[in-house]
Structure 1
């Protein structure tokens, strides 16, 4: 384990880099340190989970092909206690890897080799999104819940219920649902959703939207053939079913 870069707590931007390729780990850590992140590094899975509990990172850059616990299992376990943004790295460029990575809670996916500048740009874009619900001591603007039949979306607490049963969504899934529900009945293209949730600096493939929408639907118990909540508009994007 290692620590690099500024340690001033006022920065409040912590990154955890998990990769068994030491030169790559050092390269990514150096780029993030230049961007004023407090950077922690580790080269194996069990240590990554321990360190994540200790430092509570804002962003985790996580290699898939680690010795011992692989990146998918680390991400799955990480999601039981952390809402950090997760960017997974892999030497393989396959749709299956992407789907698996996103299904266990990753927010983004990059294939090696990649540009460290692009990685930093994606991280900055993600960090412009809200990380967690405000603590009870914070003053926040109260927004009335959005209700679509049995679905209730509370934007203030970032909670979702279906038939009064709480539904656990990843941050990305919640942000997509919040964006769609902001304009019920309106068709939103994949590009509009990407720019709303990831920001206009997104570099990746639009198909990432389809993967996250699929996970969102399964969690909501929504049938894409006869949707109650999220409707596919073929060739364009998606819309929230109004009413």
Structure 2
């Protein structure tokens, strides 16, 4: 019951805040405008009051429209593409010169959304492979060994040829645990990337040939799986 009484009172208070000061009526106080309106007759006073209320109502309407407009501007309609994204290959500069890399040294980079690992074999040959082990995505840069032209994953000892990505050993360490973890994932080769030394006669920085649409393609496949599961085919979601 108390809340019902408070609501009209609150509304009246808000209305008084928007009324011109000349027409705010306080107990025992008569403003010049109020006295003048009363002197001209009740009809004139009523007209002034109605005009004031109309002005206040219009102000409330404008304020509400502004709030609604800002609310709409603050919301972004989420929409994701599920179309097939074709590869777009390009040579991307790494900012690293081959002369800066020592034999068996590795350097991890992200090029156009691709996690790559550039390095040199024991013989000093430049190579570039995917930085993530195809087993469970362990970063090769976190302690991988380069032995000859073979790179060995630091977690489970999987090894691959850096020239072709060919799998040599799959999850060989630690004993028992490594081979068991290898059973849950199909054997795969390591992803490799073409690389070269740019500049005049190969004297510049290392460049890597990557798919610049790889990230977009991954995201499109990801959302297509989610949206297909919901029966959606227009890029939106529930």
Fold match by TM threshold 0.5: no
Structure-2-length-normalised TM-score: 0.21
Higher RCO (CA-CA < 8 Å; seq separation 6+): 2
Structure with larger Rg: 2
